Every structure is written in structure tokens, then in C-alpha cells.
């Protein structure tokens, strides 16, 4: 019993519409996530100066803390009783200017000793602090 005798069999085809839809979505995703770099270059000729560069020397106050708790301010030994006494020694070395406080602390110095110097700088009204380090040879 052949019920399909009069019909012609159609060949199967590949439907490209879903494939095109997927490709458009991928294309939109790639366009949205790609960064395009713009090379903008402004060609200018800077003027030259014949004068030497003048270096602005900032006032530095060096505070050294040894591993045994001895404090020095610019090479002068200071007996530490409290942060106020160390702040007074810093103010005396600053001569009324705003210096940069350079803290030189030994590697075996306690953390509290360095914090004492930072507290003294705060009490003296100095906000610029830096730590001195050395490079290994």
C-alpha cells in the first residue's frame, strides 16, 4: 500500500535564516566590545630656554631613630620624654618654615618609635613626611 504514489518527494534544504540571525548577534557583540584606539598626535615645536633650570630647594628636617631609641634631629641628639619635646626640637630646626620631615629609622627600630616621630610632626604642624630607605648593594 503506497499512499504517496502521486506526490513528488521534495529535497531537504538548509534554512539559512537562523544562521544569519546568529551571525548578526555575534557581529553586534564584537562591535560593542571592541575598543578602537585613535591615534591623535599634535605636532608642536616647544620653545627653548637658554637659562639654567633653577632648582627649588625645600627645607628638610632629618629625624633619625636608632634601634636603641636614640632620636636625633638634623644630627643633634634629642632626649625624648614625650612627642611635644620632639615637636619643639623639630620646630626649632624648621625656623618658621614648612619643612619636609625625613624619617631615618633603623631596621631594628620599634614601630612605636617611628609613630612617635610621626606624632611629633603632627603636633608641630608639619604635614609633609617621607621615609628614607637604602638600596641593597
* pLDDT tens track, the chain, 137 positions: 556 666 677 788 888 999 999 999 999 998 888 876 666 555 656 667 676 766 777 888 999 988 888 899 998 989 888 999 999 999 999 888 889 999 988 888 888 999 999 999 999 999 899 888 776 65
Q: Over the stretch 85-116, which tens digit does the pLDDT of each residue have?
A: 999 999 999 888 889 999 988 888 888 999 99
Q: What is the pLDDT of residue 80?
A: 86
What distance in Å separates the CA atoms of residue 83 and residue 101, rounded to the nearest whole number?
A: 15
Answer whether 60's CB lies under 8 Å from 68's CB.
Answer: no
Q: Is residue 63 exposed (0-12), middle (13-18) or buried (19+ Cβ within 10 Å)? A: buried
Q: What is the pLDDT of residue 41?
A: 59
Residue 114's contacts (CB-CB under 8 Å, 6 or more residues apart) are: 65, 103, 105
Domains of the chain by start residue, with CATH = 60-131 (3.30.420.270)
Q: What is the pLDDT of residue 27?
A: 94
CA distances, 135 to each of 103, 132 (Å): 16, 10
Q: What is the pLDDT of residue 1?
A: 56
Distance of CA 123 to the CA centre of its chain: 27
Amino acid at each position: 500500500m503506497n499512499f504517496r504514489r502521486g506526490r513528488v518527494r521534495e529535497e531537504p534544504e538548509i534554512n539559512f535564516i537562523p544562521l544569519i540571525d546568529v551571525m548578526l548577534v555575534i557581529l553586534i557583540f564584537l562591535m560593542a566590545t571592541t575598543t578602537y584606539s585613535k591615534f591623535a598626535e599634535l605636532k608642536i615645536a616647544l620653545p627653548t630656554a637658554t637659562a639654567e633650570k633653577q632648582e627649588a630647594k625645600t627645607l628638610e628636617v632629618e629625624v633619625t631613630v636608632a634601634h636603641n631609641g636614640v632620636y636625633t634631629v638634623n644630627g643633634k641628639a634629642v632626649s625624648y620624654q614625650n612627642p611635644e619635646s620632639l615637636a619643639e626640637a623639630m620646630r626649632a630646626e624648621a625656623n618658621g618654615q614648612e619643612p619636609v620631615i625625613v624619617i631615618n629609622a633603623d631596621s631594628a627600630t620599634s614601630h612605636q618609635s617611628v609613630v612617635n616621630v610621626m606624632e611629633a610632626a603632627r603636633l608641630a604642624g608639619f604635614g609633609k613626611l617621607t621615609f628614607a630607605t637604602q638600596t641593597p648593594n
